Structure 1
Amino acid sequence: MADRTGVWGPQRRLKGVVPFLAGESAGSFANRLAHAHGLELGAFLDRVGTGRQPVNPRLPALAELDVNRAALDNLAVLSGRTPHQLQLALTNLQGRFLLSGDDAARWQWPFKVREGHVVRCCDLCARARGVDEAAWLLWPDQWRVCLRHRRFTDDHRGQGPCVVRLDGLAEVVRAHSERLRLERRFGAAGAELFADSFQVVTRWWARMPTAWCWTQRAWRAGLEAQELRTAPLVIYPEAIQLAREMLRFEQCAERTRAVRAVWVAEVQQLMAGWGLEDVDGWGELVQWLDHHAQPAAVPFSDGAGGIRRRRRRVLAVGHGQLAEPSGSLGDRSCMV
């Protein structure tokens, strides 16, 4: 263990440069920087400033590192970069997140990230950047999919794999690809439609996590079927199919009671095909329809042609009153 006596403030920068990872948490970067200096995290943070929370070796995986302006300057010296470069690369070091007070350098570990969640980085993405140890990202949701390497990661800290390979779950990979296409084509409206569908199917999973389509996916991923962390992974294909149905309704010119009834019947038939005929999904479907009963002032379209392509596509009035423009899937959904 390094001597921690009289080491306040930065002593030296590294000869080499510790690479950034896109979206990495400041705590994760500091942890890697400490190891590159040959120090435990606590000894390294003594060179950054004084801390208000006791250092736990697992903290980079549990929470985020907050610093004030003076500590940011020290961290910049230790990393061999400017404070501005650190702030561009690490969201939590930006001005709006800095601790107040610039007289003495200080840091702390809040046990609730102010924006998003600390999610494990795909191991192959990290390795491609020259990072061979565990790293964590700040992410809007508690989970993410790496399409390039077919990996599912989340904020799980218990038993089971930290990184789940999707080699045997081609339908999940296809669903994620389709979600990205939906968001590229329809922008924020596409993201919000998926958020709605995801929230609906999550409620169905909570009532019947043992449905065969979800159970067998969990087994193929090496996860427990009824464990909460499996839900985003196993429901992905059904969520994207429901998003397509929601898109179809959102683009309807008519939203009469008869049209709504036909739509519900068609979705329920789709559910039966998934093996969810015993799930009572009527309540969620009707709630969603209630929020989408009145179309937006600007007709929703696929963006084909001229002026329409430049318009921001907007979902129904009721949806816009309940959903946030950014944040997690829960924030962006009207299914509150």
Structure 2
Amino acid sequence: MGIDGPSAALPRGVVMVRGETAASYLWRLAERNGMRFEELARHIGAPRTIGAADPSTVEVRLGPVARRRLAEASGRTVEELVQALVSLEKSRISARARRQVQIEPWPDDQRPVRACALCAAGRGERPVWRVPGERWAVCVRHGRWTGTAQGLFQVGLERLPEVVDAHVRRLRLERRTGPFARALIADAQQVAVYWWQCRQMAWRGVWRARQEILGVDRSALWAVPLVVYPEAVIVAEAMAVRERQRAVGRSFAGGPAGWSTDRWTAWVGERLGMGQEMADGGHRALEAWLMAHRNTVPVVTRVARQEDRAVPRGVPLPLLEPHRVVPQHGQWEEVSCLPWRLGSPMTSMPWRPAG
């Protein structure tokens, strides 16, 4: 049977998981039907020499012909496969290519994240691997934090419901803001990392309490994104408000033309319930962000446009400097415009941005 011929349907299918990698799905489908991965890969058009594919480290790229054959073999439509296996759309294999099935290693900073074990329960012995946006994920349905640290780990969030609530708010922010939201969340996470490393803001309060619930101390760097996540989402929401005004050349809260740094940082402190901590030094990290995101519209133009309304919350924001390109994968620090790194010595910080 040639590669262009029909592919026989397999006797058993598997439940699809949105965001799953193609390698993970193929492994589960093969296991469900008593096959090795290589057998299933050849079934949909791979060469005989294709090797095994570890879904925790590699992805399987499928061309249009192989996608159609996989759809026939799994009893799905191509549209259903593409909707669930989101990495399929990124394949660069053409319909005329002889090799319709190719194995590619994931870059070290883009490794798949193991899906929530409760979501994957009853879907076979093999774990489900998801395409990462970050190196961790939150399952809202089951209240679990999943990622990698010293091997695989999953953390139940029964005693940290604010983390799940924050993730719901983050998803809402992403729907409203569009692709720019990922940059703002990365920047907000970096601001929180600065506060954490400098022992400012919440380090004696809610962050210490979360560390105690998790049973970790400050040396457990894997836990920092989880510990600071709720406050980081609040900061990201505040950044989005600021950016909606900057997009039309306005100052914060419709104030006078020019910088209104103090007003905005104080407002963020109020939203966090940490106004005094903000005044005592927490403002510095936000001022570094404001410097990178300064309003470049000339003052004369701003004065003439003071009546312009900010971009409405329900309208996606355009990408603004310094984020003209927003990577969809990788660690937050690689997406953010802020230079410091978790676990590394902090650099000197400006006291306030230039006007």
Question: Is TM > 0.5 for Structure 1 vs Structure 2?
Answer: yes
For residue 21 of structure 1, give the secondary structure of its aligned residue in structure 2.
Answer: coil
Q: Alpha-carbon deviation of 1:24?
A: 1.0
In the alignment, residue 300 of structure 1 is paired with which amino acid? A
Aligned in 2, Cα 1:222/1:101: closer, same or farther, shift over 3 Å?
farther
1:76–1:263 CA distance, 2 compared to 1 (3 A): closer
2:30 partner letter = A
**CA pair 11-182 structure 1, distance change in 2 beyond 3 A:** closer
Query: Structure 2: which 5+ runs fail to align?
Result: 244-251, 298-304, 340-355
Deviations 1:190-243 (A, max 9, x none): 655434312321344455599444354244235664334322211112212323
Q: Secondary structure at the match of 1:153?
A: strand
Q: CA deviation at 1:143?
A: 1.7
Say if 2:234 and 2:272, in contact at 8 Å, map to a contact too: no
Aligned partner of 1:63: which letter? V
- Distance across 1 between alignment mates of 2:48 and 2:275: 52
1:205-220 to 2 correspondences below 5 Å: 205-206=196-197, 211-212=203-204, 213-220=206-213
Unaligned stretches of 5+ in structure 1? 1-8, 304-308
After the TM superposition, list the runs of 4 or more consecutive aligned residues in structure 1 that deviate by more than 6 angstroms: 255-258, 268-272, 274-277, 295-298
Give distance in 2, aligned partners of 1:105 and 1:187.
33
Partner residue, 1:306: none
Higher relative contact order (CA 8 A, sep 6+): 2
Deviates more, 1:135-144 or 1:236-245: 236-245
- Partners of 1:32 and 1:243 lie apart in 2 by 37
Q: Which residue of 1 aligns with 2:248?
A: none
Alignment match of 1:118 (pick from 112, 115, 126): 112
The one-letter amino acid of 2:151's match is Q
Q: 23-32 or 11-20, which moves further after superposition?
A: 11-20
Alignment of 1:78-227 (within 5 A): 78-83=73-78, 85-94=80-89, 96-98=91-93, 102-112=97-107, 117-127=111-121, 130=123, 133-154=126-147, 156=148, 158-159=150-151, 161=153, 163-184=154-175, 186=177, 192-206=183-197, 211-212=203-204, 213-221=206-214, 225-227=218-220
After superposition, the Cα gap between the structure-2 partners of 1:183 and 1:272, relative to the gap in structure 1 and judged at 3 Å, is closer
CA contact 1:211–1:275 (8 Å) conserved in 2 = no
Match of 2:310 in 1: 300
What TM-score results when the alignment is normalised by the length of structure 2?
0.68
* 1:20 maps onto 2:23 in alignment: no
When normalised by structure 1's length, the TM-score is 0.72
Q: How many residues align?
A: 313
Q: Within 2, Cα distance between the matches of 1:275 and 1:170?
A: 26
Q: 1:33 deviation in Å?
A: 0.8
Query: Residues 106 and 245 from structure 1, CA distance in 2 versus in 1: closer, same or farther, beyond 3 angstroms?
Result: closer
Contact residue 9 and residue 74 of structure 2 kept, 8 A: yes
User: What SS class does the counterpart of residue 56 from structure 2 fall into?
Assistant: helix
Give the conservation status (yes or no) of the 8 Å contact 1:218–1:224.
Answer: yes
CA distance 1:191–1:10, change in 2 (3 Å): same
CA distance in 2 between partners of 1:68 and 1:219 (Å): 49
State the Cα distance separating 1:170 from its structure 2 match: 1.9
Between the aligned residues of both structures, percent identity stands at 28
What amino acid maps onto 2:155 in structure 1? Answer: V
Alpha-carbon distance between aligned partners in 1 of 2:50 and 2:10, rounded to the nearest angstrom: 26
Structure 1, residues 128-175: CA drift from partner, whole Å, max 9, x if none? 8x5564101113222221212111112x163362x2111011221232
1:50 and 2:47 matched: yes
